[in-house]
Amino acid sequence: MAARFTFAVHCSDLLLPLSSGCAITLIPLKVVRDPQMLAMFLKVHQITATFMPPSLFRTFERASDTLKTVVVSGEKVFNIDPRGIRVIAT
């Protein structure tokens, strides 16, 4: 989960996975701000799906081995290279 609790989108970040029986992993802010640390965090915690803005997704040099689905929203979506990941733009 990348949205701050003060941002309204955090409700969907919490409720959608929980209503589907999924686990939620809270990502520390310092990890969210560092693309390399974020990619490692996703791999270590075996995260398979996440929400993030397109600008953050574009910063990944290489995708995590475990990440299968990314929902991108909150910004205009352009120049997205999915790198084998299912990308859903909302």
Domains of the chain: 27-89 (3.40.50.980)
Q: What is the mean pLDDT of the chain?
A: 79
Closest CA to 59 of 36, 29, 76: 36
11 vs 34: CA distance, rounded Å: 24
Can you give the pLDDT at residue 4?
61
Can you give the pLDDT at residue 50?
84
**pLDDT band, very low/low/confident/very high, at 30 (cuts 50, 70, 90):** very high
Can you give the pLDDT at residue 85?
79
| Residue that the structure tokens 């310092």 belong to | 30
Residues in the chain: 90
> Structure pTM?
0.71
74 vs 90: CA distance, rounded Å: 8
